[in-house]
Amino acid sequence: MQREEIFEELKEIIKLIKPSIDLSTATEDSQLVRDLGLDSLTILLLSLATENKFGFRFEGNPKFITVGEVIDYIEANTKQ
* Superfamily of domain covering 3-77: ACP-like (1.10.1200.10)
Per-domain residue ranges for the chain?
3-77
Does the pTM of the predicted model rise above 0.95? no
Q: pLDDT of 15-58, one tens digit each?
A: 999 999 999 999 999 999 999 999 999 999 999 999 999 999 99
Query: What residues contact 27, with CB distance under 8 A and at least 6 apart?
Result: 67
pLDDT of residue 62: 84
CA angle (38 as vertex; 6, 43 as ends), nearest 5: 65
